[in-house]
Amino acid sequence: MPAHANRIDVGDLNVYYGSFKAVEDVSMVIEPGSVTAFIGPSGCGKSTFIRTLNRMHEVVPGARVEGKVLLDGEDLYGADVDPVVVRRQIGMVFQRPNPFPTMSIRDNVLAGIKLNGARIRRSESDEIVEQSLRGANLWTEVKDRLDKPGSGLSGGQQQRLCIARAIAVQPDVLLMDEPCSALDPISTLAIEDLISELKKNYTIVIVTHNMQQASRVSDRTAFFNIEGTGKPGRLVEMDDTAKIFTNPSVQATEDYVSGRFG
């Protein structure tokens, strides 16, 4: 268990893009130190929803939410909450690896610290780089070329570099939006192993299209569905992963996880 719990409570959350309601009425609890997987067909709002957990949806013009997201009881959408501060505590890894092309591997890892204007000593930054890269299982592969550009790595390595970059700022929660969908099976396995490691220190939420992946890495699974085009996505059910995949309480979940639709 980490020093302080990082429990996320979501209450009656609606997400809109302009006048279009993308996600409707989601309530859930994400336990600290657990891995929670979001599954569901494309367009059901799970990526939209995960972005509301660190206010990344605000990057899209016209996107807004109604409802509450509480991190340890504190509302992320409170009046005086700065989204920048929220994102420092709730990091995110994206679908496509996106290291900064102008920076070396080392600078990529330190980006969150350096770009926030913090001045750190060389020894301290060396330590952060090594810790973060070790944490992302990338240290042994890149330790001899830390000053080479990050874009020279393979896709799987780039994604692990992005994870290292995300954990270098020491967030409490790590959101992963389909982190393996652009990777080959071997890199995927490396990332999955990494997720099991990371959950010792972080609360992890992962969106995935790969149901084997959800069952391998997660403790809890949430199934999202959409009734039809133009309708908002909804949370159908959320339960322990084992239960969702063996004995779900809703028929639609069973149909989805058994591959009968979607």
The footprint of other proteins (CB under 8 A) covers 54, 56, 59, 61, 84-89, 91-94, 96, 98-102, 111-112, 115-117, 148-149, 151-152, 162, 165-166, 169
Best CA proximity match to 87, nearest among 65, 116, 64: 116
Nearer residue to other proteins within complex by CB, 155 or 251: 155
Burial 128-159 (b: 16+ CB within 10 A, else e): bbebbbebbbbbebbeeebeebbbebeebbbb
Nearer residue to other proteins within complex by CB, 117 or 185: 117
Q: Are strands 20-30 and 233-240 parallel, antiparallel or unpaired?
A: parallel
Angle, helix 122-135 to helix 105-114, in steps of 10 degrees? 110
Residue 214 beta carbon to other proteins: minimum distance, rounded to whole angstroms: 22
Q: What letter would DSSP give residue 101?
A: T
Q: Is 66:98 a contact under the CB 8 Å cutoff?
A: no
The residue type of 1 is M
Q: How far is CA 50 from the centre of its chain?
A: 7
Give the count of beta carbons closer than 10 Å to the beta carbon of residue 3.
7
Residue 61 beta carbon to other proteins: minimum distance, rounded to whole angstroms: 6
Nearer residue to other proteins within complex by CB, 71 or 238: 71
**How far is 188 from 100, CA to CA, in rounded Å?**
21
Nearer residue to other proteins within complex by CB, 44 or 175: 175
**How far is 40 from 124, CA to CA, in rounded Å?**
42
Q: How far is CA 125 from the centre of its chain?
A: 25
Nearer residue to other proteins within complex by CB, 88 or 209: 88
Residue 3 beta carbon to other proteins: minimum distance, rounded to whole angstroms: 20
Residue 131 beta carbon to other proteins: minimum distance, rounded to whole angstroms: 16
Residue 253 beta carbon to other proteins: minimum distance, rounded to whole angstroms: 30
Nearer residue to other proteins within complex by CB, 184 or 227: 184
Residue 103 beta carbon to other proteins: minimum distance, rounded to whole angstroms: 8
Nearer residue to other proteins within complex by CB, 116 or 251: 116
Residue 114 beta carbon to other proteins: minimum distance, rounded to whole angstroms: 8
Measured at the CA of 139, the angle between CA 138 and CA 142, to 5 degrees, comes to 85
Q: Is 183:208 a contact under the CB 8 Å cutoff?
A: no
